[in-house]
Structure 1
Amino acid sequence: MLNSTIQSIEIFKLFLPLKEPFVISLGPINEVQNVVIRIRTADGCTGYGECSPYLTINGESIDTCFAVAQYLARGLHGHDALDIAGCVALMNRIIYGNSSIKSAFDMALHDVAAQHAGVPLYAYLGGHADKVLTTDMTVSLGPPGKMQADAIRFQQQGFPAIKVKLGETLEADVARIRAIREGIGPDHPLRIDANQGWHTADAAIAMLQALAPYRIDHCEEPISRHLYMDMGRVSAASPIPIMADESCGDEHDAARLIQLRACPQFNVKLGKASGLHKAQKIVELGAAAGMTLQVGGFMESRLGMTAAAHLALTNDAIHHCDFDTPLMYAEDPVVGGIQYLSQGVIDVPSTPGLGAVIDEQYLRHAEKRVFD
């Protein structure tokens, strides 16, 4: 019998430049600041995981993740890597919250487990490569003219849908969408994300009604995540379907929103859910409730987005993918992983496991901790 005991865990800081700052209503992102986890088992198997912490969303930074990862590594060392549920439970006993760094460990464990099973990660998760995944492309928050130019460029590059960051005043955000529609025409699929920027239910309802003429597919997180009790009122009054993002972190949040009939759509992210183990629970709940689901991410590289793509192949309720942030990188640190084809099509690796690793040259000189 193969020995799947965790023999060593390595923790790396990964800093990478972006082509240009990525701006949302919660603030600008000027560079990638991620943490990479590498788990080796006694039989020589190696699994990779990655997280992209967000101070304003999951309350984590590269430094908090690096510190907490050391607690988690000490706890997990010597455990069976194939006992993912047990490892997840152990991480939760070690420390509350910290969903971002836990997702990196969870991802690496799933990589190991799928390799042991000799199947691609999507198959290990119960999925099938029987549907075509496509990603949208996101227009960063900025002046209307710049946003219009970016949207036109993404349309010309063949992306099947354009996502637009909003979250400021009614006048400013309507002007942005008006300019974009004038640039890309009335028919190209358009989605919006306020990142909680409209704050209150009344402000959000006014904004969503004002944006109705511009044919918006859906709107992510229009109000403060703390006002989830008001989300149902926003959904009922909105001509645009509402998708919960920041307010839907794990399966407990998902169950609450379903019970409240708060919204018809969820955006599932590994960094919010603490990884694939819990993200699958959200997907199952949403699918059972007849919801439309999206799988997205933060600023993960193609490694983290590859894990998200494997998840997207597990359930027909997952209609949308938001896997564009690696295209914003000035450098690509990943070997293998998803490939971006024409028309926004995502090609998911079919090799056993995750099918992606971080190029050793990016880890060789990185700040790291090793537990073996």
Structure 2
Amino acid sequence: MIIKEIETFPLAVPLIKPFKTALRTVVTAESIVVKISCDNGIIGWGEAPPTHVITGESLISIKGAIETIFEPFLVGKNLLHFEAVFQNLHDIVVGNSSVKAALDMALYDCLAKLSGLPLYQYLGGYQNEIETDFTVSVNNPEEMGEDAKRYVSDGFNILKVKVGKDDITSDLKRIQAIRNSVGEHIKLRLDANQGWSVKEAIYIIRKMEDLGLNIELIEQPVHKEDIRGLKTVTDSVATLIMADESVFSPQAAFELLRTRSADLINIKLMKSGGIYKALLINRMAELCGVECMVGSMIETRLAITAAAHFAASQKNITRFDFDAPLMLAQDRIQGGIIYEGRKITFPTQSGLGITGII
């Protein structure tokens, strides 16, 4: 199975409502779509969004890296020797994790199609149905409470709440407003996106514990490079602490696991560089008794389909954050995962089940 051609296409889809975090505001989901064609007629699809504040990539850099570095390397390679292909894919250039992820998922799409299996079965097939949370963007407390109530009425029973903007007093008011709006039975996860200092994180988490706000977990409370601070927060509170931006690679995951600096890890294909490295991160975490979530950036159903296939294939992945396609005003992806409210199911076709872009 020789890689014959790599094509790229720009994709832009407006969001229904601006997506706001401590790091950025997004109004349009932009990405570069990748199409890999092999000499046996098999086609694989991938996607790379530009997330400047997290991966450092732009639309121009993604397209340029594919055309000038990765395409010359990949074209002519035999994908049946995929171990060497994936190893070299990560070695030929530093960084560019979203580019690597897009190519990686397209290559896995090809391999699973060759096997005649849906990708989640090719990777392990642990389960064939998962459920996503829904994200509440950071706004004023009243608006966040209203948004949360609407998402719950739409059938979502787990909410991921963005905090870390302004000050911790405002964040506390946001969480109280949401808890008052949705009641006690809805599971709340918080994502500070590195927005708190170590002392702020410990103070507000303990305060929420004292108030009985019943928060399931706090994602990336402190700066991504402050692993020691992350461990201090983890050791100082009863609430589960999840690492996100701190874990871009298996090496970073190893250090976090070695030092027990977090209770959970959020794996994103756009950080790990794709499924090949994400599998390694999850396996190390499983050996250490640390469960994982799989999440995403603001991506279309193409990239989310790849992430969902990976997530469903592995026992140690117990939490799923795949709501991004539900935030988009249009769905331009043909095929792929199927949403029924919070429930996600998988197509029966081999590979990702993606048939095209409209």
Report the Cα offset of residue 217 of structure 1: 0.5
Cα distance in structure 2, aligned partners of 1:61 and 1:358 = 24
Cα distance in structure 1, aligned partners of 2:174 and 2:154 = 21
Are the aligned partners of 1:82 and 1:112 in contact in 2 as well (CA < 8 Å)? no
- Residue 76 (structure 1) aligned with residue 74 (structure 2): yes
1:218-229 alignment runs, 5 A limit: 218-229=217-228
**3-state DSSP of counterpart to 2:231:** helix
Cα distance in structure 1, aligned partners of 2:159 and 2:296 = 16
- Residue 48 (structure 1) aligned with residue 45 (structure 2): yes
Counterpart amino acid of residue 125 in structure 2: G
Are the aligned partners of 2:126 and 2:315 in contact in 1 as well (CA < 8 Å)? no
Counterpart amino acid of residue 244 in structure 2: D
Q: Which runs of 5+ in 2 are unaligned?
A: none
Cα distance in structure 2, aligned partners of 1:127 and 1:160 = 25
**3-state DSSP of counterpart to 1:319:** strand
Task: Give CA deviations for 1:216-248 in whole Å, capped at 9, x if unaligned.
Answer: 000110000010122111101123100000001
Task: Give CA deviations for 1:244-300 in whole Å, capped at 9, x if unaligned.
Answer: 000011211111100010011000110000000000001111111111211111111
Report the Cα offset of residue 11 of structure 1: 1.2
- Residue 38 (structure 1) aligned with residue 35 (structure 2): yes
**3-state DSSP of counterpart to 1:332:** coil
Are the aligned partners of 1:53 and 1:101 in contact in 2 as well (CA < 8 Å)? no
Report the Cα offset of residue 20 of structure 1: 1.6
1:1-372 alignment runs, 5 A limit: 4-70=1-67, 71-129=69-127, 132-168=129-165, 169-198=167-196, 200-212=197-209, 213-342=212-341, 344-359=342-357, 361=358
**3-state DSSP of counterpart to 1:21:** strand
Are the aligned partners of 1:85 and 1:277 in contact in 2 as well (CA < 8 Å)? no
Cα distance in structure 1, aligned partners of 2:92 and 2:314 = 31
Report the Cα offset of residue 82 of structure 1: 3.2
Aligned residues: 354
Are the aligned partners of 1:114 and 1:124 in contact in 2 as well (CA < 8 Å)? yes
Task: Give CA deviations for 1:24-50 in whole Å, capped at 9, x if unaligned.
Answer: 000101211111110000011000011
Report the Cα offset of residue 92 of structure 1: 2.8
Are the aligned partners of 1:135 and 1:160 in contact in 2 as well (CA < 8 Å)? no
Cα distance in structure 2, aligned partners of 1:288 and 1:311 = 18
Cα distance in structure 2, aligned partners of 1:270 and 1:357 = 21
Counterpart amino acid of residue 191 in structure 2: D
Counterpart amino acid of residue 153 in structure 2: Q
Report the Cα offset of residue 128 of structure 1: 3.2
Are the aligned partners of 2:194 and 2:221 in contact in 1 as well (CA < 8 Å)? yes
Counterpart amino acid of residue 102 in structure 2: A
Report the Cα offset of residue 14 of structure 1: 1.1
**3-state DSSP of counterpart to 2:56:** coil
Q: 1:82 to 1:50 in 2, by over 3 A?
A: farther
**3-state DSSP of counterpart to 1:11:** strand
Cα distance in structure 2, aligned partners of 1:194 and 1:357 = 36
Cα distance in structure 1, aligned partners of 2:187 and 2:77 = 47
Cα distance in structure 2, aligned partners of 1:83 and 1:68 = 23
**3-state DSSP of counterpart to 1:82:** helix
Cα distance in structure 1, aligned partners of 2:199 and 2:314 = 34
User: Following TM superposition, where does structure 1 have runs of at least 4 consecutive aligned residues deviating by more than 4 angstroms?
Assistant: none
**3-state DSSP of counterpart to 2:277:** helix
Cα distance in structure 1, aligned partners of 2:43 and 2:126 = 24
Q: 1:92 to 1:317 in 2, by over 3 A?
A: closer
**3-state DSSP of counterpart to 1:8:** strand
Task: Give CA deviations for 1:93-124 in whole Å, capped at 9, x if unaligned.
Answer: 32111101110000000000000011110111
Report the Cα offset of residue 203 of structure 1: 1.6
Report the Cα offset of residue 83 of structure 1: 3.0
Q: Report the more deviating stretch, 313-322 or 216-225.
A: 313-322
Counterpart amino acid of residue 93 in structure 2: I
Are the aligned partners of 1:271 and 1:298 in contact in 2 as well (CA < 8 Å)? yes
Counterpart amino acid of residue 24 in structure 1: T
Cα distance in structure 2, aligned partners of 1:84 and 1:254 = 24
Between the aligned residues of both structures, percent identity stands at 36
Cα distance in structure 2, aligned partners of 1:205 and 1:87 = 44
Task: Give CA deviations for 1:133-191 in whole Å, capped at 9, x if unaligned.
Answer: 10000000111111001100011111120110000211100000000011001221111
Counterpart amino acid of residue 214 in structure 2: R
Counterpart amino acid of residue 58 in structure 1: T
Counterpart amino acid of residue 91 in structure 1: L
Cα distance in structure 2, aligned partners of 1:82 and 1:191 = 41
